[in-house]
Amino acid sequence: MSTAVDLGRAVRSELAKLSWRSPVWYAIVPIAVALPIVLNASVAIASRMNKLDGSGGMDTNNAGYWVMIFSTIVLMSAGVSSLSNEFKYATVELVYGAQTRRWLLPVAKLIVFGLIAAAATLVTVIVLLAGFPAVFPDVWGRVELTSAAGLRLLWALPVFTFFVSALGIGITGLIPRPGVVVGVVLLWKFGIETFSAMLPVKIGNVVAQWMPFKNGELGAGQYPTMRPIFGGANGSLAYFAVVAAVFFVLGTVRLSRRDFTPD
């Protein structure tokens, strides 16, 4: 009971730090929501004006692409910045002076920022799947919110985003510098995982099947570009969640054992 009470206090403390002036509300969340909406609207308008080849239109299992590519990383940066700032401004010493169980800090941040990220993703998905077919019926006419693919995006994409935040916060526990953390994630996602597609076909296919983000995006409802080896979409999403959880645990353990000095 004491642990639950202390965790509740830690979560309330994190929420108290999020005043209306926090960049989470006026920058990070709006950008994360607006980016895929603006990009998809621009593509749809260009297709309708024959500026782009939009033949075939949008499919439901590709409707969350820009959310997976951009929004997840933008939302991850909220938790990464928050934990990094504890070191930058030396407030982590005050936090651990008041609460000696150090693991409560990253867990509370994951609960707060992970759920904010998941909620922002859910709103974005609803806007895309429910609104765009009505606004752009000639391009998004086949997209259905209530289809199997639509319902999967509705729950699995927020879950994927939550674990992307867990991954970022975990790496921050190991390297408390937001620029480095975001750079590492981007390098892996757009560098190493993209490079795997350039390997010889047989080797590239095997390597791709083990890539965390490729599996996570497949599990979140993206059109499959590889043969999953974890029993389908649910297994692929679970694999990504395990990888993210491992880094989160490693970062939490590191925080619990390290000495703190202001950056």
Q: What is the pLDDT of residues 91-106, one digit of tens each?
A: 877 777 777 688 899 9
Residue 262: per-residue pLDDT:
45
CB burial of residue 77 (10 Å; 0-12, 13-18, 19+): buried
pLDDT tops 50 at residue 185: yes
d(CA 12, CA 138): 46
Please report the pLDDT score of residue 52 as a whole number. Answer: 63
Cβ burial of 132 (10 Å; 0-12, 13-18, 19+) is buried
The tens digit of pLDDT for each residue in 105-132 reads 999 999 999 999 999 999 999 999 999 9
* pLDDT greater than 50 at residue 263: no
- Determine the average pLDDT of the residues in 156-174: 97
Helices 212-219 and 233-257: crossing angle in degrees, nearest 10, is 130
Contacts (Cβ under 8 Å, ≥6 apart) of 144: 60, 129, 133, 150
The sign one gets for the Cα dihedral 126, 60, 34, 225 is positive
Answer positive or negative: Cα dihedral of 251, 254, 260, 263. negative
The rounded Cα 173 to chain-centroid distance in angstroms is 17
Region 31-54: mean pLDDT is 86
Question: Is this prediction's pTM over 0.85?
Answer: yes
pLDDT tens digits for 219-258? 999 988 788 899 899 999 999 999 999 999 999 999 887 6
Average pLDDT score over residue span 63-72 = 95
Q: Is the pLDDT of residue 171 over 80?
A: yes
